[in-house]
Amino acid sequence: MLSKILVALMGVLLFLNVILFSLNVLYKWEMKQIPSLMTKAEQLRLETISKTKANRMALNMEITRRMAKENTQLHLTVDTTKHLMFLASEGAQLRAMNIKTGKDTLIGSPPDRVRMVLPAGKRLVTNVVDDTYVWTAPAWVYAQRKQRVPTENALKGGLGSLAIFLDSGTVIYSRPEVGPLNDDNYVLPGSIQISSTDVKAIRKAVQAGMVVYFY
Amino acid sequence: MMKRTHIYIIIVILLCLSALALINNAIYLSMQRNIAYLIFQNKMEVYEGASRQLESTSQMLSAVQTAPEPWNHGPYLVVSIAEHYLWYKQEGKVIFKAPVATGSEKTLVRLGNQQTWRFDTPRGRMVVQDKQEDPIWVPPDWHYVEQSRLKGVTLFHLDYGKTLTLSDASVVSVVGYNVVRRQPNGATQILTASEKKEIILDGMLVIPPLGTTARRYKGVLGPYSLELGDGYAIHGTDQPESIGHSVSHGCVRMYNEDITKLFKLVKIGTPVYIY
């Protein structure tokens, strides 16, 4: 009788052991799966946030483009993807100009590191200067150009016959006759180079306070 | 028989111990798994939040991109003063283009009353207010000031009801719409004028009053004119050699064949942007 009870108990215990063993295996398997699921979720989250940011940027660009079209005052618009700048008013393109843009560049060393990039959105012209303007080229420009900084680097006409300064730090200029910017293949980082023909055409139309849209 | 019972008891005890160990391990693993699921769930919630934001920005972007343009611009005229050029455009595309002459940017000062004229083509936005065929030019006062200087004569401003008695006793006055010279014997002569052929009598250049025939010049503005208001216009010329230069008194001059083509294209109300 006792041996029968023991055998039955053994059977029950064996079954319980099998169940518990299976649970352990299952939990371990799930534990192995979760990190990869979490990585996937994290990837999805990052991708989604990145797409959201891209959408927001595209939304801002589109809104800026439409703001430019509605501006009844004479203004400049810069289409950074098509490399075109327009003199425009209330959606009418008065002049289309081909532009060259400076490469995005990090200058300085930490913690005083500055990223020189073209701005986005609405900016203002702060100053317009001609070839009498004396421009001191920063040392990093000479470094990029692999040139030695001259002892006297304050250059009259160093920004060409017309330079338009924006509140973002961007400079719209034509190739000067002197200095490190006297090169069609090099554009000041975060800035815009236009042709001297365009400069002559728009110089009397551009004044401080004029709006410049970047999209 | 006793031995088998002992073996069974030992097996039962071992199975009990094994079950206890497995239960313990299962509880530990279950807790770890639940914590991991909570973290995963949290990440999924963050992802879902980001996903909802993405959907929202996608909808906004799509709404903005598919919305009608702020203003579907009709055709417009553009004049570049620096380049002496005119373009007729629509949506940035050039429909017609031609060289022009623009204001000389010179200043004329009339001695005596210190009146000053500045011959600029105005920058900014104007509108084609009227279209005229065979336009008549009514010379402004500055034209007579310029001509008097060129010809070295003085100016006489003839008004309605005013007379000018000349050395031969003839009298110049305005009769109706004409400037008339009456001889002492009663004979009368209607005096006419045209560009560079103004009325000069006794060393005086006569400025006829506005509204008289002597102050209406034909052909000076070419065959057509697009009136911009304030005395400014885009018109043809009798001086085609002036095109491409800064020589006008503020108007935009074109070759006659160009204004003929442009006149047919442009409607009243067309914006004109001058820069």
d(CA B119, CA B102) in angstroms, rounded, equals 9
Architecture of the CATH domain B71-135+219-275: Beta Barrel (2.40)
Q: What is the pLDDT of residue B5?
A: 85
Q: Cis omega before residue A111 (within 30°)?
A: yes
Across B92-170, the runs of DSSP E, i.e. the strands, are 93-103, 107-110, 115-118, 124-127, 130-133, 136-137, 154-157, 164-165
Q: What is the pLDDT of residue A151?
A: 87
Per-residue DSSP letter, B219? S
Kindly state the helix (H) or strand (E) to which residue B265 belongs, with its residue range: helix B256-265
pLDDT at A115 over 60: yes
Domain residue extents for chain A: 1-70, 72-214
Q: What is the pLDDT of residue B71?
A: 63
Kindly give the parts of chain B with pLDDT less than 50. Answer: none
Q: Given its phi and psi angles, is residue B247 left (phi above 0), alpha (psi -120 to 50 degrees) or beta?
A: alpha
Residues, chain B: 275
Q: What is the mean pLDDT of chain A?
A: 91
Q: What is the pLDDT of residue B113?
A: 67
pLDDT per residue over A22-77, tens digit each?
999 999 998 888 888 888 888 888 888 888 888 888 888 888 888 888 888 999 99
Measured between beta carbons, the chain B residues lying within 8 angstroms of A86 are 92
Please tell me if residue A9 touches chain B, with a CB cutoff of 8 Å: yes
Asked if the Cβ–Cβ distance from B73 to A37 is below 8 Å, we say no
Residues, chain A: 215
Kindly state the helix (H) or strand (E) to which residue B180 belongs, with its residue range: strand B178-182
Domain residue extents for chain B: 1-67, 71-135+219-275, 152-214
pLDDT per residue over A170-209, tens digit each?
999 999 999 999 998 999 999 999 999 999 999 999 999 9
Please tell me if residue A30 touches chain B, with a CB cutoff of 8 Å: yes
Q: Given its phi and psi angles, is residue A52 left (phi above 0), alpha (psi -120 to 50 degrees) or beta?
A: alpha
Asked if the Cβ–Cβ distance from B47 to A30 is below 8 Å, we say no
Q: What is the pLDDT of residue B72?
A: 62
Q: What is the CB-side half-sphere exposure of residue B88 using CA atoms within 13 A? A: 16
Is B251 catalytic? The answer is yes
One-letter amino acid at A94 equals: L
User: Taking chain A, what is the end-to-end CA distance rounded to the nearest angstrom?
Assistant: 91
One-letter amino acid at B139 equals: P
**B2-66 and A2-70 helices, crossing angle to 10°:** 10
Measured between beta carbons, the chain B residues lying within 8 angstroms of A201 are 80, 82-83, 275
Q: Give every strand in the sheet of B200-201, ordered side by side.
A: B154-157, B204-207, B200-201
Q: What is the pLDDT of residue A166?
A: 97
Q: Given its phi and psi angles, is residue A214 left (phi above 0), alpha (psi -120 to 50 degrees) or beta?
A: beta
Is B235 catalytic? The answer is yes
Q: What is the pLDDT of residue B45?
A: 85
Q: What is the CB-side half-sphere exposure of residue B2 using CA atoms within 13 A? A: 0
Identify the bridge partners of residue B227 per DSSP, sorted by sequence position: B130, B233
Identify the bridge partners of residue B191 per DSSP, sorted by sequence position: B179
d(CA A172, CA A163) in angstroms, rounded, equals 6
Q: What is the pLDDT of residue A113?
A: 83
Write the class of the CATH domain A72-214.
mainly beta
Q: What is the pLDDT of residue B164?
A: 92
